[in-house]
Every structure is written in C-alpha cells, then in structure tokens.
C-alpha cells in the first residue's frame, strides 16, 4: 500500500483528501504545518507528498528545501495551494515540487494526478484505473462509463450494454 502525506493547515482539506485517497487504497498520513510534516515524513518515508504552501510555523517552500536536502530527495511532491500567479507556480516548481495544483481543486483529478505521478516514478502499475468500487467514473479504454457493476454504459446514451 502506497503512503501519501497530506500537509495542509486546513483540517477540512486534510479530511477531504484523506477520504478520497483512502477510498482509492492509499495509506494517508497528515500534518498541519511544515515542521510537523518533516517529522512525519522522516519517520514514515511517504511515497508521495501533497503540500500546501502557506502554513504556520514552517511554510511549504521551507519544508521542501529541508526535505529535499535529506535522503528522500526523489519523493514526488505535489504543491496544492491558493497561490494562482504564474510566478508562484514557477517558484514552487523550481523549489523542487513536481506538480503545482491550485485551489479550488477537484479531489478526483488530484487523485488521478497522484496515480500518474506514482506511475511515472515507477511505483504504480500502468494502465487505466477506475475510481473506487460502486462509483461511476470515466475510464479511457474502452470509451464507456463504468457503473460499478458488470455493465458498461455509453457516455452518449443512457442504455446499458454487456461488456465485450
């Protein structure tokens, strides 16, 4: 089971991401600021970190600088922040983030980005991956909606057809 560390000073963001990522089979650790995140990350060695920028005690940039100086310099990091200016994105990426996502965000898209980043780093198997069981979601191949049962539904029609 892959371990994801979510670092955000907003409890509701941590809870939302914990719910979505857990449902997708990830073990989720959380921290409310950069200093706490450094302790959690050093003890648990996460496979990926989702990191807010603006936090009390230690901001995301300082966390990233200190964490990248350590032995886990290759851990993928997604910055998740309310800072929307291009200069902020460039600063985050140059500081060592691998991806930069702005708030508000879609939790389902963020989970897809997590999977893609783990896949690129060789930690997640390739191929299409649907959402949690018993949910409806779009998958790339075949071009149909999966309804959580053994039936496929065309995205253009509401009728169902057997899986072929």
Q: Please choose, from the candidates 116, 41, 108, 40, the residue with its C-alpha nearest in 3D space to the C-alpha of residue 78.
A: 116
Residue 9 CB neighbour total at 10 angstroms: 18
- Over residues 53-76, the mean pLDDT reads 88
Q: Quick one: three-class SS letters along 27-79?
A: EEEEECCHHHHHHHHHHHCCCEEEECCCCCCCCHHHHHHHHHHCCCCCCCEEE
The answer to whether residue 98 scores a pLDDT higher than 80 is yes
The pLDDT score that the predictor gives to residue 69 is 85
- Over residues 82-106, the mean pLDDT reads 93
Q: Where exactly are the structural domains of the chain?
A: 3-120, 130-164
Structure confidence by residue, pLDDT tens digits, 22-31: 999 999 999 9
The pLDDT score that the predictor gives to residue 122 is 80
- Over residues 51-79, the mean pLDDT reads 89
The answer to whether residue 132 scores a pLDDT higher than 60 is no
Is residue 21 within 8 Å of 111, Cβ to Cβ?
A: yes
Question: What share of the chain in percent tops pLDDT 70?
Answer: 73
Is residue 42 within 8 Å of 20, Cβ to Cβ?
A: no
Structure confidence by residue, pLDDT tens digits, 45-62: 999 999 999 999 999 999
Name the CATH code of domain 3-120 (choices 3.30.720.210, 3.40.50.2300, 3.20.20.70, 3.90.180.10).
3.40.50.2300
The answer to whether residue 152 scores a pLDDT higher than 90 is no
Model's pTM, two decimal places?
A: 0.75
């Amino acid at each position: 089971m892959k371990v994801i560390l979510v670092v955000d000073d907003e409890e509701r963001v941590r809870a939302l991401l914990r719910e979505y990522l857990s449902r997708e089979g990830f073990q989720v650790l959380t921290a409310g600021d950069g200093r706490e995140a450094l302790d959690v990350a050093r003890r648990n060695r996460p496979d990926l970190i989702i990191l807010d920028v603006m936090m009390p005690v230690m901001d995301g940039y300082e966390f990233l600088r200190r964490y990248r100086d350590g032995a886990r310099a290759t851990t993928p990091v997604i910055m998740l922040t309310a800072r929307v200016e291009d200069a902020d994105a460039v600063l985050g990426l140059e500081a060592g983030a691998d991806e930069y996502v702005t708030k508000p965000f879609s939790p389902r898209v963020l989970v897809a980005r997590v999977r893609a980043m783990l896949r690129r780093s060789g930690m997640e198997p390739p191929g299409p991956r649907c959402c949690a069981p018993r949910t409806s979601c779009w998958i790339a191949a075949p071009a149909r909606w999966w309804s959580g049962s053994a039936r496929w539904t065309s995205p253009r029609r509401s009728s169902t057809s057997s899986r072929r």
